[in-house]
Structure 1
Amino acid sequence: MTRALQPALTRLLQSENEQISASQLTSSQRRALDDFRVRTGSIVQQSSGRGSVYRIVNRAVIEQHLHEQAPLANTRMDDALPQRAANIGRARSSKIGQHAHELYYLLLKARGPVVWYQNGGQCLDLESVTRQQGAAVFAIGGETGQGWYTEGPLWLVENQALFDQLDWLPGDQAATVVWYSGQLRTSFIEWLAQRPRASTIHMFPDYDGVGLHNYLRLKLRLGDQVSFWLMPQWEHKLQRFGSNTLWQATARDFHAALPGLQPIMESDKVLNQLVIAMQSQGLALEQEAVWLEA
C-alpha cells in the first residue's frame, strides 16, 4: 500500500454518505484512489457540480484491504512498544509515520587526561576508557544522558579518519573528540544546547555545503559557544586538493546556508574568506587534507 492510499481509504470509510470530494484529497491520494478503483472496482468516481467525488461501492473490499495492509491499525499498542515496531503493526513498515529512534549513541574519545561528569557525582575517565577500549559512548535522548559535561574543549569531526587518528589536533591541550558521521543529528544539537557541555566547542567538518549547513544549524543554537575550525594552510590546500565534484554535489546545501551565514561571517572574517574562496573557485575540501602538505 502506498503511503497516500491508506489515509485516503480511511477518510473515505469515515466520510458522510460514504463519499468524499476529490478536492479534499491531495494529488497523490487521488492518484492512489484512481489506481485502487481500477484494480478493485470497490469505489467509483462520479461528477459532482464542478468537480467529482469518490464513492464506495463495496465497503467490505476496502475494509479487508486495509486490514491486510495494516493488521493492527485499530489495536491499542502497548506504550512500551518501540515506535518502529508499532509502525510495522500499523502499516507493515517501520519507516511509516514517526520512525526516528528515541536514543542517539554518541561516540567520543580523549586526547590526554579528560574526565566527564554527571549530575549527582558520577564521572567517566574518558582517557582511561579510550586507552582500554578505543572510545566511549553516551546514549542521549529523552531523560537519558542529560547531565554529562566536561571542563575542557570538545571537538566535533565529520569523518571517521579524524576520529581514529588524533595527531591532527592543534596544540597539546587535553580534549574530547566526537565523531558525528556526516550529518549532525537534531537530537545531538539539542543535547549540546541544553546545558554547557564543554569549555568551548570546535567544529571541524568537510569544507563543503553540508559542512557549512551543519555549522549554521549548530551556530544558531549554541551561539558563541561554538567556532568553525580552519586547518593550517587551508587556502593552498583548497586550491591544490579541492574537488569540483564535491562542490557540485553539495552546492544546494551551500546556497541554502549562505543567507544564514552572512551575519556570522561579518564577525568571522576567516570563515568569510573560506566561503568566498570556495564559491569563486567552485571547490570543496575534505577534512582529511589536514594531513597533506600544501
Structure 2
Amino acid sequence: MPDSLAKHLSTLLQGKRVPVSNISARDRKKLQSLFATEVLEEVRIGAGRSVRLCDHPALLVYAKKYYPSGLEKEVRLDGSPRSSAIAHLRDAKKTSATDAEILTLRAGGNVDILSKNGRLLPLTEWCNLADVAAVRLDDASQWAGSGVMAIVENLEVFFHFEKIGFEADLIYYAAGRLSERALRWLSSPGMQSCQIVHFGDYDPVGVDEYLRLKKACPGRVKMYVPDDLEKLLSRYGKAELLEDSKAILLRLRNNRDKTTRYIVSLMDRYNCGLEQEILLAF
C-alpha cells in the first residue's frame, strides 16, 4: 500500500495542490511544522480548500530526511504509462539530484553580461537564435555578471517581457520563489556589480519574495512598481490573493521598506492583490 504522506509530498513537489479533504489527521500532524514555517500554505479553491507549496527547497529537505531512498519508492502512481514516467522523472530529479538547477534566461539587449572563469557567455547570440537559453547552476558555479537583471516570477511575463518597456540586460525566470542556491549565487562576489529588479505579483507572496531577495543582496535590489499600480490594482485586483496569504500580509504590515509599505497600503485599501500578468495587457 502506498505511503499517503509520500504521495502528498510527491504531488506538492510537482507543483500541484493537494485537497485538504484528502489529508488524514495523522498526515496533517506530520506536516504541521511545514505550515508553521510557511513551507506549505492552505488556500481556498472554489468551495473547498487545498494545500500548496511555497518553499520548494525546504520541502525537498524534509522529503529527503524522512524518505532517504526517494519518494518514488514509496508512491505507486496511477495513470497512463507516459504520465507516470513523467511524474517519476520529475520526482527522481528533485529527490536524488538536488546538487544543481537550471537558470532559464533571456537576453534583454545586445550586450552579454554573464561570464564564467573569464569567458563571456554568448547569451545574446543564443537568444537571437532560440529566444530562450539555459545554463547549469550548482554550488561550484562561478557565474559572474554586471548590468541590470530582471528577475521575473511568472512565465508569461518572462516570455513577453519586452511588452513592459523596461530595459534590462538579462531576464531571469524565477518560476515563483527563488531557491537558496540561486540566492547564494546572486549574492556571490562575482555578482556584486549586478543591479536586480524584481518583477513579481503585487500580493503578499510577491512582496515577501522581493524582501527576501533584497536581504540577500543589500543595496542592489528594487521591485518594479508601475506608475499606475493603484489604478490597476483597484480595477483588476483579486481578493483571493490576500485570502491565501493572511499570515504573510500580517508580517509585511510591520516592515519599514518604502516599497513594501506602499504596496501593502494599496492591498489594505482595496482588499485585493494583483497578478503581474496585468503588465502585459496595456
TM-score under structure 2 length normalisation: 0.64
Structure 2 counterpart of 1:104, one-letter code:
E
1:134 aligns with 2:131: yes
Within the candidate set 180, 185, 188, 2:174 is matched to: 180
Question: For residue 77 of structure 1, what is the aligned residue in structure 2?
Answer: none
- Return the alpha-carbon distance in structure 2 between the equivalents of residues 250 and 291 of structure 1: 24
Q: Could you tell me how far 1:192 is from its partner in structure 2?
A: 0.7
Question: For residue 38 of structure 2, what is the aligned residue in structure 1?
Answer: none
> Alpha carbons of 1:188 and 1:238: their partners in 2 closer, same or farther (altered >3 Å)?
same
Q: Could you tell me how far 1:203 is from its partner in structure 2?
A: 0.3
**Same amino acid, percent of matched pairs:** 22
Within the candidate set 205, 217, 233, 2:200 is matched to: 205
> Alpha carbons of 1:147 and 1:279: their partners in 2 closer, same or farther (altered >3 Å)?
same
Question: For residue 235 of structure 2, what is the aligned residue in structure 1?
Answer: 240
1:274 aligns with 2:268: no
1:195 aligns with 2:189: yes
Question: For residue 148 of structure 2, what is the aligned residue in structure 1?
Answer: 153
> Alpha carbons of 1:208 and 1:89: their partners in 2 closer, same or farther (altered >3 Å)?
closer
- Return the alpha-carbon distance in structure 1 between the equivalents of residues 3 and 118 of structure 2: 51
Question: For residue 61 of structure 2, what is the aligned residue in structure 1?
Answer: none
Within 5 A, what are the aligned runs for 1:1-294? 87-88=69-70, 92=74, 101-143=98-140, 146-171=141-166, 173-197=167-191, 198-259=193-254, 262-263=255-256, 265=257, 268=258, 270-293=259-282
RMSD, matched Cα: 3.5
Q: Answer with 281-290 or 174-183: which moved more.
A: 174-183
Structure 2 counterpart of 1:126, one-letter code:
L
* Contact 1:106/1:138 (8 A) holds in 2: yes
Structure 2 counterpart of 1:274, one-letter code:
I
CA deviations on 1:116-156 (whole Å, 9 max, x unpaired) are: 3434321112111111122111211221xx22223310000
Q: Which has the higher contact order (CA 8 A, sep 6+)?
A: 2
Q: Could you tell me how far 1:188 is from its partner in structure 2?
A: 0.9
> Alpha carbons of 1:152 and 1:277: their partners in 2 closer, same or farther (altered >3 Å)?
same
Structure 2 counterpart of 1:137, one-letter code:
A
- Return the alpha-carbon distance in structure 2 between the equivalents of residues 125 and 88 of structure 1: 37
Number of paired residues? 211
| Rg (Cα) greater in structure | 1
Q: Answer with 98-107 or 134-143: which moved more.
A: 98-107
Gaps of 5+ in 2: 6-25, 31-63, 76-87
- Return the alpha-carbon distance in structure 2 between the equivalents of residues 205 and 89 of structure 1: 31
Matched position secondary structure for 1:243: coil
Question: For residue 48 of structure 2, what is the aligned residue in structure 1?
Answer: none
Structure 1 counterpart of 2:212, one-letter code:
R
CA deviations on 1:228-270 (whole Å, 9 max, x unpaired) are: 11023001000000111122122333224444xx23x2xx2x4
Structure 1 counterpart of 2:125, one-letter code:
S
- Return the alpha-carbon distance in structure 1 between the equivalents of residues 66 and 101 of structure 2: 15
Structure 1 counterpart of 2:159, one-letter code:
D
Matched position secondary structure for 1:87: coil
Gaps of 5+ in 1: 5-27, 33-81
> Alpha carbons of 1:100 and 1:250: their partners in 2 closer, same or farther (altered >3 Å)?
farther
* Contact 1:228/1:271 (8 A) holds in 2: no
